[in-house]
Every structure is written in C-alpha cells, then in structure tokens.
C-alpha cells in the first residue's frame, strides 16, 4: 500500500514516531491509520492516490517542542555558568596581581629600612651580623613569596586553559547532542 522502505519503518518504530502492536507470534502489526498519520500519498495523473507517491509528513509534536525548550534552557544555563567561571577566574587574576604588587612594595620598603638601619660606627660588628641575619631571613621570605607567586600564576594559567577546554567541550557536546536528538 505504501512505498516506505523497511529501514524507515523500523527507524520510525524505534524512535516512537510510528506505533505498532505485537501479536502472539511476536510479529509487529501496524495500523493503516498510523501510516496515514505519518506518510502522505501523492495524487497521480488520474487524480487517485497510489502507494508510490507516499512522502513522509513533516510534523511537530509537543515532545519536540518541549525538547527544543529544554535544549535552549540547557544552553542558557551553560552560558551563564561559563560566564560566572570566567568572571571568577578574572577576579582571582586581579587579586593575585594586587598581591604581587603589595609584596613588591613591602620588599622595597624593607630594603629601604634595612639600608637606613645599618650602623657604621666602630664596635657594631655584632649588630651588623644581626642585621645581616635579618636581611638573609627577609631575602629567604621574599624568595619563598616569589616561588609562591609563580605557582599561583601557573595555577591561573591552568585554570584559563580549563575554561577554554570547557568552552570547546560544551560546543562539541551541544553539536553531538543535537545530532543525536535530530539525527542530522
């Protein structure tokens, strides 16, 4: 009756577009009304319908509309979370830069104070030794802070790379999800 290929029928049955009943011998039975619902017949030259002129009907169901709305909601949510993550990372970068500036300023002040406190009088060798020891401690602290700063900068770079990867993955997932959903 209808010029529809078996693979098309099975695909429509699998996706739920075409409903069917299973008889006691485990064979699928399709109601003619279901075929009429999904496939249109073409009119021939004489004005009658033939099975050769059957074309799949385009249709929109409530579930398709709901799925499109859900996809749009997911996209908006993803964009919002990505923007939030980017903003957080930018805030962290700004905080780290401020911390580096503050540490540099503290180091310069400490060096200035150390230079002012040097005692040039005779017999002050012990004080100079103490000052040198304190200066070495300050230099060690500064080097530790510099190492810590480098680590923080590396972490920030890694976070930025992760954000970029998340964006790429999100684009890829959206495409593959749409492909699966609408079978492009």
* pLDDT confidence of residue 18: 85
Phi-psi region of 16 (alpha: psi -120 to 50; beta: other; left: phi over 0): left
Q: Confidence band (pLDDT; 50, 70, 90) for 57?
A: very low
Percentage of the chain beyond pLDDT 90 is 32
- CA-based max dimension of the chain: 125
Q: What backbone torsions phi and psi does residue 17 show, to the nearest 5 degrees?
A: -70, -35
Span 104-163, pLDDT tens digits? 998 988 888 877 776 555 555 577 778 888 999 999 999 999 999 999 999 999 999 988
Q: Provide the whole-model pTM.
A: 0.31
Distance CA 149, CA 99 (A): 9
Closest alpha carbon to 40 in 52, 31, 28, 29: 52
**Which residue ranges make up each domain of the chain?**
6-56, 62-182
pLDDT for the residue numbered 33: 82
Residue 26 exposed, middle or buried by CB count within 10 Å (0-12, 13-18, 19+): exposed
Q: Where do runs of H (alpha helix) occur along the chain?
A: 6-15, 32-38, 62-117, 125-182
- Residue-by-residue DSSP string for 80-95: HHHHHHHHHHHHHHHH
């Amino acid at each position: 009756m209808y010029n529809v290929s078996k693979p098309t029928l099975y695909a429509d049955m699998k996706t739920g577009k075409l409903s069917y009943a299973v008889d006691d011998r485990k064979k699928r039975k399709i109601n003619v009304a279901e075929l009429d619902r999904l496939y249109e017949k073409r009119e021939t030259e004489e004005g009658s319908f033939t099975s050769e002129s059957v074309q799949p009907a385009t249709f929109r169901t409530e579930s398709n509309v709901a799925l499109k709305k859900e996809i749009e909601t997911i996209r908006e949510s993803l964009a919002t979370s990505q923007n939030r993550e980017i903003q957080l990372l930018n805030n962290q970068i700004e905080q780290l830069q401020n911390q580096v500036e503050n540490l540099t300023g503290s180091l310069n002040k400490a060096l200035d104070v150390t230079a002012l406190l040097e005692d040039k009088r005779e017999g002050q060798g012990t004080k100079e030794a103490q000052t040198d020891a304190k200066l070495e401690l300050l230099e060690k602290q500064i080097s530790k802070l510099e190492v810590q700063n480098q680590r923080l900068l590396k972490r920030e770079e890694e976070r930025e790379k992760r954000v970029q990867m998340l964006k790429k993955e999100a684009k890829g997932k959206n495409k593959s999800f749409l492909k699966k959903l609408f079978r492009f």
